Structure 1
Amino acid sequence: MTSRRRFIAAGIASGLLGFTSMARAHGDAAHTGKAKTPDAAEQQAWGIAGAPGKAHRTIRIEMSDDMRFTPDRIAVRLGETIRFEHHNTGAVLHEMVIGTPETLAEHAALMMRFPDMVHDEPWMAHVPAGEKAEMTWTFNRAGDFEFACLMPGHYQAGMKGALIVR
């Protein structure tokens, strides 16, 4: 089962069965902002998890409570591995999730329905207020992708950006 299907199934199951109180919430200490190191990287339409030591460059991303990312447009070369350094300058939890416009819209809708869903994928970085986090991603697929904060209401307020891979 793919990560996306597991994610959707887990979210629906936890919401329908009432086990959300047993799950860690998005805002709890379980989201440390530490870089994720997957055991087996899974290819996504927008790329694959990258090894932190293999990054070609670092891009600093600021997240703010005005529901914006700075920068909000990033150009990447096909095959490039990027180390994203996230800085949450706000007072609430933010995240950066990479995906296609369709997958991000689906995920944002699920987050509105099941705000306590637990998920932790290598293309996601959760950053508590005033803290930093890192994510390393290899862009081995060309296309027009996006990144967004999918915390309930943030995506809907316009907290997203363009990610162009050529």
Structure 2
Amino acid sequence: MYRLLIASALALASLPALAEPAQRFPFGEPAPAAKATRTVEVLLKDIAFEPKSLQVKAGETVRFVLVNEGQLPHEFNLGTKAMHEEHQKEMVAMQGKLYSAAGGHQGMDHGQMAGHAQGAEQAGGHAHGGGNTVLVMPGQRAELTWTFRTSAPIEFACNVPGHYQAGMVGPLTIE
């Protein structure tokens, strides 16, 4: 019952974000997988990415295949350091709302916070509103396809609370 309450609260909290169209960022925008000129597999482990850094070319459309080999839910999020900081605040706020909605139950973990992602998409992930993030449950695969427009200092990161701070972040160089 508790997990159902958590999943329902997360589903409701994510509806406005899902209704928004994918947006364009200074460094690029989401793209259909069919437009990809290259595929890159990224392993999400506890608590690390493999590879630890990525390189792309301006104008290139890359299909990221994300495989969560860890025991925790993880995000793959493209953005600047400031964008990651903002997204982390949103993730912590969502976690706090879930705690309140659950009646103050103890023992909230990342699996409960991210439970809404289970079954959200056939690829095993849950896309957030901007198109630059996907949440991948343990043992699942997901995809994110992106067209990189211009050189910018960006990172790929997991913004599940505490993961970025534990080192689950890497540089993405756009040449």
What range is the shorter-chain TM-score in?
0.7 to 0.9
Larger radius of gyration: 2
Q: 1:57 aligns with which of 35, 38, 46?
A: 38
Q: Which residue of structure 2 aligns with residue 156 of structure 1?
A: 165
Q: What residue is the counterpart of 2:139 in the other structure? A: 130
For residues 52 and 113 of structure 1, the distance between their equivalents in structure 2, rounded to whole angstroms, comes to 32
- Letter paired with 1:138: T
- 2:62 partner amino acid: I
Higher helix residue share: 2
Q: How far apart, CA to CA, are the structure 1 residues paired with 2:27 and 2:164?
A: 19
Q: CA deviation at 1:41?
A: 4.3
Deviation at 1:21, TM superposition (A): 8.2
Candidates 21, 24, 35, aligned match of 2:10: 24
C-alpha contact 1:81 1:139 (8 A) present in aligned 2: yes
Instruction: Give 4+ residue runs of structure 1 displaced > 3 Å after superposition.
Output: 38-41, 116-119
Rounded Cα–Cα distance in structure 2 between residues aligned with 1:24 and 1:49? 23
Alignment partners' CA distance in 2, 1:108 and 1:39: 19
SS for the counterpart of 1:163 is: strand
Query: In the TM superposition, what is the alpha-carbon distance from 1:45 to its structure 2 partner?
Result: 1.9
Structure 2 residues not aligned, in runs of 5+: 1-5, 99-112, 117-126
Equivalence map 1:74-93=2 (5 Å): 74-93=54-73
Shift of 1:56: 0.6
Counterparts in 2 of 1:53 and 1:158: CA distance versus 1, 3 Å = same
TM-score (normalised: structure 1): 0.73
The Cα of 1:61 is off from its aligned counterpart by 0.3
**Equivalent position to 1:44, from 9, 25, 32:** 25
Distance 1:160 1:51 in 2: 25
Unpaired stretches in structure 1, ≥5 consecutive residues: 1-19, 31-37
Is 1:120 equivalent to 2:101 in the alignment? Answer: no
Give the TM-score normalised by structure 2.
0.69
Give the one of 131, 141, 144 matched to 2:150.
141
- CA-based RMSD of the aligned residues comes to 2.6
Q: Kindly indicate whether the alpha-carbon contact (under 8 Å) linking 1:46 and 1:98 is maintained by their aligned counterparts in 2.
A: no
Shift of 1:39: 8.4
* Residue in structure 1 matched with residue 91 of structure 2 by the alignment: 111
AA at the equivalent of 1:143 = A
CA contact (8 A) 1:86 1:133 kept: yes
